[in-house]
Amino acid sequence: MGKITKHEWMTDGRLAWLLVVAILIIDQVIKIEVKTSMTLGESIRITDWFYITFVENNGMAWGMTFINKLFLSVLRIVAVSAIGWFIWQTVRQKGRPRYVVFLSMVLAGAAGNIFDSLFYGLVFSASSPFYTAYWVPFGTGYADILMGKVVDMFYFPIFHATWPSWVPVWGGEDFTFFSPVFNFADSCITVGVVCLLLFCRKDLEHMETTLQTAIHKPSAKQPDGESDKESVKD
């Protein structure tokens, strides 16, 4: 038997799993460090345009809360499961490695935020502006399963300005670009989506073909005459 080369061992499937695990570990290490060492709302200046600012949200982009938290968590789990299944099918159908990598970044980012919702409410005390959160016995935290809050920390106030007075609604008001606070998982989702749009447009155009091939797999070829025998049976 010949030796397995490094290239043969690092299949697209293994690459996808390693990338997902690596992103999840980095994401959780950052979040746990922030949650257990900073008070809610605390901000650490790195540069004039980059701060580590501890905030929490219910798991939607920009901290929106118009959807029930439990429903949102379940919806995200379904979405992540669907993405994971699609990556598996893409690997089976010999999709391009870069396509698999970018999809895996989106999957890992979404899974990282789901992890917060699943477990943080069970294993941490509630965050507060007056004291740091701490580990608690499993199940005795600040929320039930699927109800934990997502930890965000990266804040890039690149510049501040004032809307001209003639601008409708916002005229005369101050604004900051870029004001949303996000986490490592969010950045992986964003980078993955942008790379998919820039470098994998042909792959995205054939997404329907991938789904059809996965759902309507050709049945195993029957021996000659087998189908004829079945057709003449009463």
pLDDT tens, position by position, 28-74: 999 999 999 999 999 999 999 999 999 998 766 555 555 677 888 88
Query: How far is Cα 71 from Cα 74, in angstroms, rounded to an integer?
Result: 5
CA nearest neighbour of 117 among 182, 181, 72? 72
Question: Quick check: is 234 catalytic?
Answer: no
Query: How far is Cα 135 from Cα 35, in angstroms, rounded to an integer?
Result: 10
| 231 pLDDT above the threshold of 70 | no
Q: What is the pLDDT of residue 213?
A: 83
Q: What is the pLDDT of residue 8?
A: 66
CA nearest neighbour of 95 among 9, 217, 24, 104? 104
In this structure, what are the phi and psi dihedrals at residue 124, rounded to the nearest 5 degrees?
A: -125, 155
| 132 pLDDT above the threshold of 90 | yes
Q: Which of 186, 224, 228, 234 is catalytic?
A: 186
Question: Quick check: is 186 catalytic?
Answer: yes
User: What is the sign, positive or negative, of the torsion defined by CA atoms of 166, 167, 173, 176?
Assistant: negative
Query: How far is Cα 183 from Cα 54, in angstroms, rounded to an integer?
Result: 10
Q: Which of 48, 152, 203, 234 is catalytic?
A: 152
Q: Which residue type does 162 have?
A: T
| 227 pLDDT above the threshold of 60 | no
**pTM of the entire predicted model:** 0.81
Strand 181-182's sheet: what is its strand order?
A: 43-47, 50-57, 150-155, 181-182
| 2 pLDDT above the threshold of 70 | no
Least confident piece of the model among 12-16, 94-98, 119-123: 12-16
Query: How far is Cα 176 from Cα 162, in angstroms, rounded to an integer?
Result: 9
